Each structure stands twice: as C-alpha cells, then as structure tokens.
Amino acid sequence: MILYLQLRNQTLTAMEGTMTGFRYLLLFTAVGVLFGMCGGCSKEQKKAVVERETRVTLEPLQKRIFRRQIPVQGTVWPVEYATISAKISGTLELLKVDEGDVRKKDDVLFGIDRQVLKNQVTMREDEIKVKNAELESARIALESAKISERKATLDYERFLTLWQSKATSQTEFETYETAYKKAKTDVRNAEAAIANAEAQLKQAESNLVIAEKNLDDSIVKAPYDCIITDTYVEENEYVTAGQNILKLENQKQLEVICYISAVYYDLVEAGRTPVRFVLDGVDKGRAVVTYKAPSIDPESRTFKLKMLVPPEVKLVSGMLCDVSIILEEKEAYGLPADALLLRANDRYIVYAIGPDNRAKSFDVVRGIVDGKYCEVVNAAELLKERFVVTGQTFVNNGSLLREIKAK
C-alpha cells in the first residue's frame, strides 16, 4: 500500500511538470508570432494601429437669410361672405342659382311673389289717385262753404242791425242767425275734411312706398362677385321674412385667421409684420399681418391675427394653412445647427480642420436658429475656417481628420 502511494505521487509530479512546460511553450510561440508580425510592419502601419482617422465633411461659414419666426396653423376664410335671407314673406317663385354656381355683382339670385307684389303696387297707385280726388273734392267743398259763410255773415250782420232797431222780427233774425252759425260749422267741417283727406293721401303714399320696397325686396341680387356655397330652400316653397335662402362668398379675396400665444403680442404689428405661406413645407408666398386683435383672450392666453392671401397662393376657404409669422429677418453667416456642440455653462463650440488635418475647436455665439441652420454671431473671426458639419460627435481637439465629400 505504501509503495502504491509513492508511485502515484511520482506520476502526478511528472504530469504537472509536463503541463507546465507545455504552457510555457505556447506562451513563447505566441510572443514569437507577434514579434514576427510587427517586425515586417512599416512605421506608417505601426502608427495606423495606434491612431485612427475620423471621416468628416467640412463646410465654411455661409451667408444666408435667417428668420426668427413663429410657425402656426390657421384657417382660410373669404373676406366677404354672407348668408342671404328673405326680406319678405311669400312664395319663392324664382331661384336662379344652385350650389357651386358663380355669379357677378347685381346678378339676380332669387325672387318672391313678384306678380302679387306688382298688383299691390298698382293697387296703391290707384288708391293714391282716389285720395287725390277726394282731397280735391274737399278743397272745392271748402271754397263753397267759405262763399256760403261770407254771404251768411253779411245777412246775419244786416239782420242783426235791423233786429236791434226793431225793423225786423225776432223770428226772421233767428233764421239768419241759424244760417250764419251753420255756415261757420260747414267751413270747419270742410277744413276737417281736407285735413282728413290729406292724411289719407299721405297714408296712401306711404303704402305705395312700402309696396314698392316690397317689390324691390322680392328680387335679391348678388352683393358682389361670388360663388354659391349652399342653398336651404327649393323653388315654389313658401318662405318667411328673415328665413335663410342661400349662402355665398367671394373667393377672389381670402384671408387666413390664426391665434398665437400672448407672449408675442408686443412683437406683432398690423400692417408691418411679414408672414410666409407654407404648403407641404414649400414657401408659396408672402404677405403682412392685416389685423391684430385689440385684446388677449383671458382663457386661452392667445390673440387673433388675420392676413390676406396673395393671388399666387392657391387656397380654398375652409382649408388649413401653415403660416410663419416673421418676427425678425436678416442676412448673416451661419452653419448647420448640428455642427454646434453644447458644452458646460451653455457654451457652444465647433470643430475646424487645421493645416495638419487635425481638429481644433472654436467657441461660437449662437444667433437665430432657422430650420436646420444656425446663425453664428461671431462669424467675422471665423471666415477663413472650414468646419466639421458631419461626424463631429466623434471628434475631439487634436483628432486626425479625413475629409469626405458630402453626398
């Protein structure tokens, strides 16, 4: 048993020595291979293993237009639009339009009870003739009453003298006195009849004016060049005064109405602040703010703006339209906004390429950010440099750069 244990220990010791030798052999073989590989490398290749070039695209400062603007969405409205209602009650005898029809100013749109109203005008004209005749008769009657009054007055005064001198009887005097009083009454009645006839004539004339106005109101004409956008009744339908008949608008002159935050209230001026119309991201035309609300909505904290749509911008009322309200606009030097890298304390830097193809950083002052570009305020001191505009996130001061052409 003791002999067996001794033999086993000797065997294990021999195996451990063999394994250790094998490990050392592998280590020396690997080191030899590495030295053999490096021994065949040039100095440039050795350096390449140590330092890698960063592929970047470069761009100098470029002069362009920068705008400080507020993008907002508004609704297109016609400047002139109206819902036309019936001015009188009656049967809609004439409906000359349908939805989508185009009409010129003063074109007939619809009519109501034309024949009935014409008959009313004729009746009122005849009534005036009758009242004029009655007034004339009353005037003649007054003249006759005045003649009778003058004669009765003379007779009364003569018989009054005779009666006072006892030259005539009481009965005969009273006869002339009665005739005198009646003549006075007849004059007063004739004068009252004239006043009444004049009042009736005036009323008849007023009735004629109303009838003529109703006749005029029975035909409704287009107030301006327009397109019919909706109709609410059918021809031969009875309508009442004030009932809506149709809707129209003038699409030759449109405007955009939008609402923006109250923080911009003092920066916008009606008649001066420019705006850009944008459709599908494309600038379609420019205008100015034509209206600015005199106050701010206390609930939404916004205020209303209007701007006329220029003729070259093809819009339709009711659609949404993107507009940019330009608060400031100027020509300046700038770079793609992504080229500016934010550092501590709100400091921005850009990388430029040096004569040794190594990166060097510059502090820059950001100005207006307009889309993908940013104004560089301190551009005057940087005009000779070419700056890293792609790949900049992999660059540090002193990084070896390789320029590639932008696609």
**pLDDT tens-digit profile of 330-388?**
999 999 999 999 999 999 999 999 999 999 999 999 999 998 999 999 999 999 999 99
Q: What is the strand order of the sheet 219-221 is part of?
A: 219-221, 108-112, 90-95, 238-239
Label residue 49 by pLDDT band (50, 70, 90): low
How many CB atoms neighbour CB 103 within 10 A?
19
| pTM exceeds 0.85, yes or no | no
Q: How far apart are CA 304 and CA 294, in angstroms?
A: 9
CA-closest candidate to residue 307, choices 326, 329, 292: 292
Residues sharing a CB contact under 8 Å with residue 49, sequence separation 6 or more, in sequence order? 41
Label residue 13 by pLDDT band (50, 70, 90): very low
SS (H, E, C) 368-403: EEECCEEEECCHHHHCCCEEEEECHHHCCCCCEEEE
In the chain, the domains with their CATH numbers are 54-65+332-403 (2.40.420.20), 70-79+252-329 (2.40.30.170), 115-212 (1.10.287.620)
Per residue in 206-257, pLDDT (tens digit) is 999 999 998 888 889 999 999 999 999 988 899 999 999 999 999 889 999 9
The single-letter DSSP state of residue 11 is H
The CA distances from residue 273 to 69, 213, 266, 327, 368, in Å, are 11, 47, 11, 7, 18
Label residue 406 by pLDDT band (50, 70, 90): confident
pLDDT, mean of residues 381-405: 94
Label residue 50 by pLDDT band (50, 70, 90): low
Is the predicted pLDDT of residue 37 greater than 80, yes or no?
Answer: no
Q: Which one is predicted more confidently, 45 or 130?
A: 130
Q: Mean pLDDT over all residues of the chain? A: 86
Is the predicted pLDDT of residue 277 greater than 80, yes or no?
Answer: yes
